[in-house]
């Protein structure tokens, strides 16, 4: 596909607009966004990374995920450059380190992220993973930032079912908008209880590493005969099937990271793939849903 083919870009954008996920506050988001881990770390790749993010935004992958941790702020700086004159087109997500999530640190950590990102607010601020700071304190910090307009919403990341239950029972915990966890066809642990719990509570999941890091976390995803058969049927690549699988329900937002132009396009195009019940059953046979509780997969 030619990158200059505006009609095709528009078609991709429309298919993304049709695959939306709704946050508890009623905000609609396209179910495929963009990750940025490792971006901004190598000066030689910076221009390419900026262009990749900008192409993704143009195609409608408006959710951009970063974190203060990534490259010690380099990812946020790169995202800031990519967003110049485009801030209003993006739903910007960053994450706070657990050791910065207490009342003594969270405001400064957020200010520093805002500075690196060149913006005055985040659309969503996530606790990167659970640390030693009591949940109640992090919630209070998040709520203060929200009242000051520095963040519009907050959520968590790498929380398992028991953590989510505890969060809901903590004062203010029900204001959480999402939980970002590892989820791909080769790592389905959350299908046992965490994802059903989220569905019951109408709380979307954000799926990180949805391509199993380009297949490197699970090589089988690139060569499995069932995935190949389904990808041939839709005339797409195996990892596009893997991505379409991740967003098969309407409460998962996948955030693949891509620097290669063809990867950005392929990921956006995956929104147009609607897997049938038959496809899903075939995939379940090779990559079965867990039948018992699995520890949350984390990288």
Ligand X SMILES: NC(=O)c1ccc[n+]([C@@H]2O[C@H](COP(=O)([O-])OP(=O)(O)OC[C@H]3O[C@@H](n4cnc5c(N)ncnc54)[C@H](OP(=O)(O)O)[C@@H]3O)[C@@H](O)[C@H]2O)c1
Binding site residues, ligand X, CB under 6 A: 35-37, 65, 128, 157-158, 180, 208-214, 239, 255-260, 263, 266-267, 299
CB of residue 49 to ligand X, shortest distance in Å: 8
Q: Residue with the closest Cβ to ligand X?
A: 35
Nearer to ligand X, 10 or 298 (CB): 298
Question: Looking at 38, 70, 183, 192, which residue is catalytic?
Answer: 70
Nearer to ligand X, 148 or 299 (CB): 299
Nearer to ligand X, 68 or 279 (CB): 68
100 labelled as ligand-binding?
no
Compute the distance between CA of residue 76 and CA of residue 80 in angstroms, rounded to an integer: 6
Compute the distance between CA of residue 254 and CA of residue 244 in angstroms, rounded to an integer: 9
**Active site annotation includes 97:** no
Nearer to ligand X, 172 or 215 (CB): 215
Residues flagged as binding site for substrate: 128
Residues carrying an active site annotation: 70
């Amino acid at each position: 596909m030619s990158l200059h083919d505006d009609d095709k870009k528009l078609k991709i954008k429309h298919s993304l607009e049709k695959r939306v996920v709704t946050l508890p506050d009623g905000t609609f988001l396209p179910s495929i966004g963009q990750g940025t881990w490792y971006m901004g770390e190598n000066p030689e790749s910076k221009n390419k990374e900026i262009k990749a993010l900008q192409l993704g935004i143009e195609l409608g992958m408006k959710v951009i995920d970063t974190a203060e941790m990534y490259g010690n702020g380099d990812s946020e700086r790169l995202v800031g450059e990519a967003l110049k004159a485009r801030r209003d087109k993006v739903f910007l997500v960053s994450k706070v380190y657990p050791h910065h999530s207490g009342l003594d640190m969270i405001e400064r950590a957020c200010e520093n992220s805002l500075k690196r990102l060149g913006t005055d607010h985040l659309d969503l601020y996530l606790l990167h993973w659970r640390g030693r700071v009591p949940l109640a304190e992090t919630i209070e910090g998040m709520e203060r930032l929200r009242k000051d307009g520095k963040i519009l919403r907050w959520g968590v990341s790498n929380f398992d079912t028991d953590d989510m239950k505890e969060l809901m029972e903590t004062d203010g915990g029900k204001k959480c908008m999402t939980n970002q966890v590892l989820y791909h066809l080769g790592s389905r642990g959350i299908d046992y209880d965490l994802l059903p719990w989220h569905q019951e509570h109408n709380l979307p999941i954000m799926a990180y590493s949805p391509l199993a890091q380009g297949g490197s976390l699970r090589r089988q995803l690139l060569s499995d005969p069932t995935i190949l058969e389904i990808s041939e049927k839709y005339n797409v690549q195996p990892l596009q099937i893997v991505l379409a699988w991740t967003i098969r329900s309407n409460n998962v937002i996948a955030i693949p990271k891509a620097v290669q132009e063809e990867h950005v396009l392929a990921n956006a195009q995956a929104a147009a793939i609607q897997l049938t019940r038959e496809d899903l059953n075939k995939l379940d046979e090779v990559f079965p849903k867990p039948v018992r509780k699995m520890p949350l997969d984390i990288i």
